[in-house]
């Protein structure tokens, strides 16, 4: 019952965001509200076993959601800008020293690993290639391995980011 | 006038980064480095060209108070999020598949994944 | 109602540049030595087409273009995942 309610609520909120500005009841017209409730109930019935199949509801905490929004528009966007300037420099000068390195992380939950892998893919010089499912090690293609770093067996996750400590943010959001 | 100049600035930045991404796709030596160029630069450039539409939508909403511009801006924001997340995940999927297929990074100083999973 | 600002002169040139870049990306699609290179090129073309669709929706004053762009993004994501599964040899059956 709880997964159905959560899924229906999320779909309804998304539908209302998409149709905002259509009428006079708040921002919505009556027909859009009725259609949204019907569609979200059907979608909730069909997909209730996919969204929260682990029985873990900590992402409902509003503090975590606000932190996630702050994370995306704050430190993450900063790192992304730096990454793009870096890629622009390397496209023009072709000064690259690529290699695949191993990174160890303290994050345990699926959502935490997912956010860390996506953050790594969009931030300076690194792309996630593979993930070890048991030990949560990430294998990362780095476009510019530092001098002498190719003999190190493993890195810590916060060494990849220079401007902000993104793994600490992700731990606060998802763990 | 300020909004117009802001829109032009954002569009120019976005176009430059998209161009750098495609040039990198053509110039880099192997698939992993090409993926650096396409994933980061084209995602960032497309976010900026779409940000021009968001700025335009809020600006016209402020001037004309017509609700269709609110719809325009909100839909553009949702398109930006869909673009960023799907690009990151699909590039990770392609990199994993390429390494499983046996494509090795050709100029590379080290390959820890090769030692772990030959 | 017609809005005079919809005829601003800088949407069409940007769309033209983006589509020219998509044309350049198809060079890598033709050359690419491995199937994974071609998948990356297709992904780039998809991203550029989505960005062009979002700009064209302002130019033509058609809200539906942005909805098409969102659905295009999600469909291209699913197709890229399937291509990746296929070239990685993980599809069973």
d(CA B76, CA B41): 19
Domain ranges in chain A are 2-54, 59-174
| Per-residue pLDDT, C21 | 92
Contact B43, B87 (CB under 8 A): yes
Distance from CA of B90 to the nearest CA of C (A): 6
Arithmetic mean of pLDDT over chain B? 85
* Residue C7: inside a domain: no
* Residue C23: inside a domain: no
Q: Is A23 helix (H, G, I), strand (E, B) or coil?
A: coil
In the block, residue with structure tokens 């979200």: A40
Distance from CA of B6 to the nearest CA of A (A): 18
pLDDT at B116 over 70: no
Count CB atoms within 10 A of the CB of residue B78: 18
25-84 in chain C: CB under 8 A from chain B = 25, 27-28, 34-37, 39-41, 43-44, 47-48, 50-51, 54-55, 57-58, 63, 66-67, 69-70, 73-74, 76-77, 80-81, 83-84
CB contact under 8 A, A87 and B95: no
User: For the residues C77-89, what does the mean pLDDT come to?
Assistant: 89
With a pLDDT cut of 90, the percent of chain A lying above it is 3
Q: Convert the pLDDT of each residue in B11-48 to its tens digit.
A: 999 999 999 989 988 888 888 888 888 888 888 899 99
Count CB atoms within 10 A of the CB of residue A156: 11
User: For the residues C64-77, what does the mean pLDDT come to?
Assistant: 91
| Per-residue pLDDT, C7 | 54
Q: At what angle do helices C35-60 and B2-27 cross, to 10 degrees?
A: 160
Arithmetic mean of pLDDT over chain C? 85
Strands (E), A38-151: 99-104, 126-131, 138-142
pLDDT at C93 over 60: no
- What are phi and psi for residue A100, nearest 5 degrees? -105, 120
Site from C6, C18, C40, C61 to mutate, B interface, most B CB atoms within 10 angstroms: C40
Q: Does domain B2-116 have CATH number 2.40.50?
A: no
Domain ranges in chain B are 2-116
| Per-residue pLDDT, A76 | 84
| Per-residue pLDDT, C3 | 54
Question: Residue C76 corresponds to which tokens in the numbers above?
Answer: 């291209």
Count CB atoms within 10 A of the CB of residue A39: 14
| Per-residue pLDDT, A99 | 80
Residues 6+ away with beta carbon under 8 Å from A13: none
User: For the residues C71-83, what does the mean pLDDT come to?
Assistant: 92
Strands A126-131 and A155-156, bridge-based pairing: unpaired
pLDDT at C6 over 70: no
């Amino acid at each position: 019952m709880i997964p159905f309610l959560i899924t229906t609520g999320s779909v309804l909120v998304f539908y209302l965001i998409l149709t905002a500005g259509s009428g006079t009841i708040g921002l919505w017209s009556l027909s859009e509200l009725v259609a949204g409730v019907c569609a979200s109930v059907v979608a909730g019935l069909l997909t209730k076993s996919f969204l929260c199949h682990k029985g873990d509801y900590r992402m409902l905490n509003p503090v975590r959601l606000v932190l996630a929004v702050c994370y995306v528009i704050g430190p993450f966007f900063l790192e992304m800008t730096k990454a793009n300037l870096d890629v622009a420099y390397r496209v023009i000068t072709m000064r690259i020293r690529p290699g695949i390195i191993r990174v160890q992380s303290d994050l345990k939950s699926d959502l935490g690993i997912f956010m860390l892998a996506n953050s790594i893919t969009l931030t300076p010089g690194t792309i996630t290639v593979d993930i070890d499912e048991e030990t949560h090690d990430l294998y990362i293609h780095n476009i510019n391995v530092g001098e002498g770093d190719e003999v190190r067996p493993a890195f810590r996750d916060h060494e990849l980011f220079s401007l902000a400590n993104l793994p600490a943010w992700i731990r606060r959001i998802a763990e | 006038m300020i909004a117009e100049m802001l829109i032009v600035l954002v569009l120019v930045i976005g176009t430059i980064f998209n161009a750098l991404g495609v040039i990198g796709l053509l110039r880099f030596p192997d698939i992993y480095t090409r993926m650096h160029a396409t994933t980061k630069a084209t995602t960032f450039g497309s976010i900026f060209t779409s940000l021009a539409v968001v700025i335009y939508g809020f600006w016209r909403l402020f001037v004309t108070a017509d609700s269709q511009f609110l719809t325009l801006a909100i839909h553009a924001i949702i398109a930006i999020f869909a673009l960023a997340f799907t690009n990151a995940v699909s590039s990770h999927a392609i990199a994993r598949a390429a390494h499983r297929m046996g494509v090795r990074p050709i100029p590379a100083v080290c390959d820890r994944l090769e030692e772990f999973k030959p | 109602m017609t809005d005079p600002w919809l005829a601003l002169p800088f949407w069409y040139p940007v769309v033209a540049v983006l589509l020219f870049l998509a044309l350049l990306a198809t060079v890598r699609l033709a050359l690419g030595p491995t199937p994974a290179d071609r998948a990356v090129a297709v992904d780039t073309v998809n991203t550029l087409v989505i960005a062009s669709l979002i700009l064209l929706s302002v130019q033509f004053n058609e809200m539906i273009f942005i909805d098409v762009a969102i659905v295009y993004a999600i469909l291209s994501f699913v197709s890229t995942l399937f291509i990746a599964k296929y070239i990685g040899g993980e599809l069973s059956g």
